[in-house]
Structure 1
Amino acid sequence: MRKSKVEAAAPANRPQTKKAQVLEMLNGGAVSVVEIAEKLSISKQAAYSLIGDVKRGGAAIGGVMKDGAMRYSVTVLKRAKAKPLAFGKGAVVSVAVSTPTATD
């Protein structure tokens, strides 16, 4: 028996991704890489990567040096960029039927 789309959807109690957790931490205020790494039980390099993922996802990340450690936070959420149309799927350039010329 096939499941309906509603039943096949992910359960609501599914844990957040680490990227979503980092975004939540950055929205909450200035946080250091060490704090992110400790909370998520990951390396500092992985924490830097997740900050980069959040930044590539559209959030403007700002940082300030405080107590000898860089502390990052979300300054402004950027709007998503409009994706260009795939080749050949744009507006038609000419609707006129082409006719062969004498050189064809």
Structure 2
Amino acid sequence: MPKKTETAAKPATKKSIVEEMLRGGGVSVAAIAEKLSISKPAAYSLIGDVKRSGVAISGTMRDGAMHYSAVAEKSTKAKAARAFGKGQAIDVDRGSPDALA
């Protein structure tokens, strides 16, 4: 009889909390730092982590403070393909004499 494994819900990470806050609308670095009880540089770092994970972030100035929000998912695979010249794949029959010409 196979073992039955139960998947426990993972606790929310600081990065996931910041991502939720960004998706909820404009949020300031001070608000992130206050909610998570971290420093402002750590809050900026978490915003960068969310950005590096593929979420596009935009910033607007409101009330003398920058407010960041998530706008849309980035298409990282398509961007990487264009960057390295990997466009459309071409199939060549290597067995034909014309393939080497």
| TM-score (norm: length of structure 2) | 0.70
Which of the two has higher C-alpha Rg? 1
Deviation at 1:78, TM superposition (A): 1.2
Please tell me the root mean square deviation across aligned C-alpha atoms, in Å. Answer: 2.6
Deviation at 1:80, TM superposition (A): 4.3
Find the aligned partners of 1:56 and 1:5 in 2 and give their Cα distance: 36
Query: Comparing both structures, which one devotes a greater share of its residues to helix?
Result: 2
- 1:6 and 2:2 correspond: no
Deviation at 1:5, TM superposition (A): 7.6
**Alignment identity in percent?**
62
Find the aligned partners of 1:77 and 1:6 in 2 and give their Cα distance: 33
Which segments of structure 1 move beyond 4 Å, counting only runs of 4 or more? none
1:21 is aligned, of 17, 23, 38, to 17
Task: Please name the residue that 1:38 is paired with.
Answer: 34
Aligned residue pairs, count = 85
| TM-score (norm: length of structure 1) | 0.68
Which ranges of structure 1 fall in alignment gaps of 5 or more residues? Answer: 85-94, 97-104
Find the aligned partners of 2:14 and 2:5 in 1 and give their Cα distance: 25
Task: Please name the residue that 1:75 is paired with.
Answer: 71
Find the aligned partners of 2:23 and 2:41 in 1 and give their Cα distance: 20
- The change in CA–CA distance for 1:56 and 1:6 in structure 2 (over 3 A counts) is same
